[in-house]
Structure 1
């Protein structure tokens, strides 16, 4: 059993700059980072660039403790600029590309950043009003060549390499993340070197990957998962990261890289499941069905904490080699030793589907404030529908109203104050209220009920967790997103968004000519299938939780359109305001039925 002492021993006195130097010295010839243009930097080359850019940022005036904002896509220069700021003891903060001009202004002013690094002309134009309101700003760096008199990234690269002003301490800030703001203005979450490296050591101890593992970075670097898995964990393991800046190329990138560890947000796993289910629907081979039955049985036995019978283990090994591994190759994950999901609830059916392919996905729960995963299911202790047990060293308890509170080495330093100070968010005993409601199963695993502020209370006083209902609806491959409405109402209604990739494929397989969401949303076979999906979900719900009426939207949601956060969570207030008329129509329709 892994203990907190084991993790602390693995972290030792390491810091992010110390790891970069270690990798340059001991693993300098190994690949570190591959960009979208397929150019690869070794650890030695990456370290040299980081130190040069650090020298350029120092000449620009960036100093220890100051904040540096980065408005850039996932490209190698992003990694270099981020790590260069850390070399100087400054605090880098990546902003989401989907921020509105007002959100950019909020972050820019609140952070009191002294340096801003932007990608090119488009970002410079979007940021221009905010830059004018930043009195502490010393300089703007632009990666691509544009007119305007700003510092060029190429000039930073040509600067004299800079050693750090002083050795970083493990309790010093290493980064800041602005929360995605589902219920209010974003807050600056400040994390320490120890926070992020403790998380890295945990990942490796709990479920080790091969030495110097290959991974793919596809989430925004403003997301806590990608910061840990795309920056700090590869530093810790001297791994090789391939950047996938375009999510539409994720599957192609995975099949090319064949990563040895992969973390997928639920929407990614749901899309993969929908694609594989389409594939399997046309594969009538008895061997495939039998192999999946064996894997599903093994998944259930391991979930119960039992060992596989020898006969089953032997049969499964053969079936995996001959049938299941080739299926996993279709999504590039046949060599992945560590699979995870988090950031939002994932339907249990999706986890069980992948279990039938020989894939055990560990579900984690946590926040930016807990440096990502605070709890996890484990390879020898998992159960679909739960987020497992506290990570070694972490404590979890429930407040009187069911709010989850956490304490331990992953809890962040605090929120950035406008004056540059850090305001601790824990109580006198170190407990952090998370805003999530939860419950413990009888034998210990934690279940997430919902966000405290998002609970629905119907007009009859019933408390309903909308995410539980939405998760059941999303289990159908046609449904990309579902939002349930019903606060202070007599019953629940739902808005359903078709999956932009799965819906056309589903329609084509059934001979429908329609391909656009606007057309598909009006197709009777599609509407009939969705009605059946809602009925199936309702069968698993109590009467107050059941959806009485629904509407299918003829367009997609995205962070750019405003209904989703940059981390693809629902902005319920925006949705309910934007679709207020449609929601009223649903209740008028429901009251007459």
Structure 2
């Protein structure tokens, strides 16, 4: 498959997107992209059309691997409806096998004329400091940002973990079953660790662990046939500590060197001089199901409505995402005037059916930007404003999220009652 990508014009450093759930072919495609010298751009299977469009546009991906016919249809809709992707030819290759090309088999066949020497030239073009994958964050302050993961990041994580856990990873019967979404960088790092150790790795898209009544590890998986550690591109030609992933101005991952001035990671120094990661400077919600949700893009979209003063997305540790919304006095006045209805007070507007329908429409628009797991299921309209005096805004009028969540704890709990 790597030769097929080269035959199709892939040059070292070119970005290739992958839109799929966890499956055996995901991993094959990932390693094929790396061997061809490309940069993998994962896209979560549940991503909305808006998210897919943004990631393709921002990453500059010139080709896309999709899981099946359904994902191919979604991608086709995105490409045909997008104003920013208009005119871009994005070849699409499906991972499923129903005889319809282009698929993985036809891609491999297309590379028959590429020599081993040409493949090696592409494979060895990257150094440890070169980008291996462009992973998009949940977007803490707007649209998701592409974080550059270097070959050195994956390589040193793998080497260090294998050295630290030989009794687990270097057993003759070592086997790993991957249940995490491979679009998540942790899942891919784990696979690299396992292959470096020389064990077997299987993939499953099932949500739960295999049962104890006769079920077994899915048969599809990768095996290191010679039990020889995986060697990444650039190994042996560059040494030292893994470079900060913040070569990009969008640096924001925990694989970065702690304390990096460009990262959104808060640290503190110990007596020994180490700088452990203690938290993010910017908000990110994690639902009870473990889904990371960036509240800012949802809030900004809701605030575009003339009725809305502030919107606060909540749901940390909760089963789903909700929102608190308060009304803009001037916006409410103009809204009432435009509809030739008596001016409503804030308290009256909170229970007015037409106002609620308007806010629901704003919430629906915000939800169209994200996946279902990130969408707002419920909201509560508040009859109080957030101000500097109330303690909910900073002097520069930035929202104090923690203060709002604390002061409106009862209202938030009602949303989940």
TM-score (norm 1): 0.40
* Matched-pair contact (CA < 8 Å) for 1:70–1:93: yes
Is 1:156 the counterpart of 2:134? The answer is no
The alpha-carbon distance between structure 1 residues 135 and 217, as it changes in their structure 2 partners (threshold 3 A), is: farther
Number of the residue aligned with 1:73: 21
Q: CA deviation at 1:150?
A: 5.7
CA distance in 1, matches of 2:316, 2:162: 41
Residues 293-350 of structure 1, C-alpha deviation per residue, up to 9 Å, x if partnerless?
xxxxxxxxxxxxxxxxxxxxxxxxxxxxxxxxxxxxxxxxxxxxxxxxxxxxxxxxxx
Structure 1: tracts of 5 or more residues without a match:
1-52, 259-392, 394-407, 456-465, 486-492, 500-558, 565-573
* Matched-pair contact (CA < 8 Å) for 2:16–2:62: yes
Match of 1:412 among 245, 260, 268: 245
TM-score (norm 2): 0.56
1:434 counterpart SS class: coil
Number of the residue aligned with 1:320: none
Match of 1:434 among 260, 263, 267: 263
Q: CA deviation at 1:494?
A: 8.2
The alpha-carbon distance between structure 1 residues 195 and 434, as it changes in their structure 2 partners (threshold 3 A), is: same
Number of the residue aligned with 1:169: 126
* Matched-pair contact (CA < 8 Å) for 1:139–1:150: no
Q: CA deviation at 1:224?
A: 1.4
CA distance in 2, matches of 1:206, 1:588: 44
Number of the residue aligned with 2:78: 130
Residues 470-505 of structure 1, C-alpha deviation per residue, up to 9 Å, x if partnerless?
9xxx8xxxx999x9x9xxxxxxx9887469xxxxxx
Is 1:451 the counterpart of 2:280? The answer is yes
1:151 counterpart SS class: coil
CA distance in 1, matches of 2:412, 2:131: 53
CA distance in 2, matches of 1:254, 1:234: 25
Q: CA deviation at 1:197?
A: 0.7
The alpha-carbon distance between structure 1 residues 205 and 128, as it changes in their structure 2 partners (threshold 3 A), is: same
Is 1:221 the counterpart of 2:182? The answer is yes
* Matched-pair contact (CA < 8 Å) for 1:200–1:236: yes
Residues 18-57 of structure 1, C-alpha deviation per residue, up to 9 Å, x if partnerless?
xxxxxxxxxxxxxxxxxxxxxxxxxxxxxxxxxxx12222
Q: CA deviation at 1:159?
A: 3.6
Residues 140-187 of structure 1, C-alpha deviation per residue, up to 9 Å, x if partnerless?
11123579x862222123344543234233233222211122442112
The alpha-carbon distance between structure 1 residues 585 and 237, as it changes in their structure 2 partners (threshold 3 A), is: closer
Match of 1:180 among 132, 135, 138: 138
CA distance in 1, matches of 2:132, 2:412: 53
Number of the residue aligned with 2:374: 563
The alpha-carbon distance between structure 1 residues 247 and 445, as it changes in their structure 2 partners (threshold 3 A), is: farther
CA distance in 1, matches of 2:184, 2:412: 40
**For residues 12-161 of structure 1, what are the structure 2 equivalents within 5 Å?**
53-132=1-80, 133=85, 135-144=87-96, 151-161=102-112
Residues 500-530 of structure 1, C-alpha deviation per residue, up to 9 Å, x if partnerless?
xxxxxxxxxxxxxxxxxxxxxxxxxxxxxxx
1:185 counterpart SS class: coil
Is 1:579 the counterpart of 2:379? The answer is yes
Aligned residues: 283
CA distance in 1, matches of 2:316, 2:138: 22
Residues 444-486 of structure 1, C-alpha deviation per residue, up to 9 Å, x if partnerless?
886765432239xxxxxxxxxx99xx9xxx8xxxx999x9x9x
Q: Point out the structure with the larger helix share.
A: 1
The alpha-carbon distance between structure 1 residues 495 and 412, as it changes in their structure 2 partners (threshold 3 A), is: closer
* Matched-pair contact (CA < 8 Å) for 1:175–1:192: yes
- Bigger relative contact order (CA 8 A; separation at least 6): 2
Q: CA deviation at 1:137?
A: 3.2
CA distance in 1, matches of 2:47, 2:214: 28
Structure 2: tracts of 5 or more residues without a match:
219-239, 296-313, 321-369, 383-404
Number of the residue aligned with 1:509: none
CA distance in 2, matches of 1:254, 1:173: 43
CA distance in 1, matches of 2:214, 2:56: 35
* Matched-pair contact (CA < 8 Å) for 2:137–2:147: yes
Residues 257-288 of structure 1, C-alpha deviation per residue, up to 9 Å, x if partnerless?
59xxxxxxxxxxxxxxxxxxxxxxxxxxxxxx
Number of the residue aligned with 1:327: none
* Matched-pair contact (CA < 8 Å) for 1:117–1:140: yes
2:53 counterpart SS class: helix
Residues 85-129 of structure 1, C-alpha deviation per residue, up to 9 Å, x if partnerless?
212211122211121110000001111111111111210122123
* Matched-pair contact (CA < 8 Å) for 1:109–1:130: no
**For residues 456-475 of structure 1, what are the structure 2 equivalents within 5 Å?**
none
Is 1:235 the counterpart of 2:195? The answer is yes
* Matched-pair contact (CA < 8 Å) for 1:113–1:134: no
**For residues 262-281 of structure 1, what are the structure 2 equivalents within 5 Å?**
none
Q: CA deviation at 1:77?
A: 1.5
CA distance in 2, matches of 1:170, 1:452: 31
CA distance in 2, matches of 1:431, 1:562: 31
Q: CA deviation at 1:588?
A: 10
Is 1:248 the counterpart of 2:208? The answer is yes
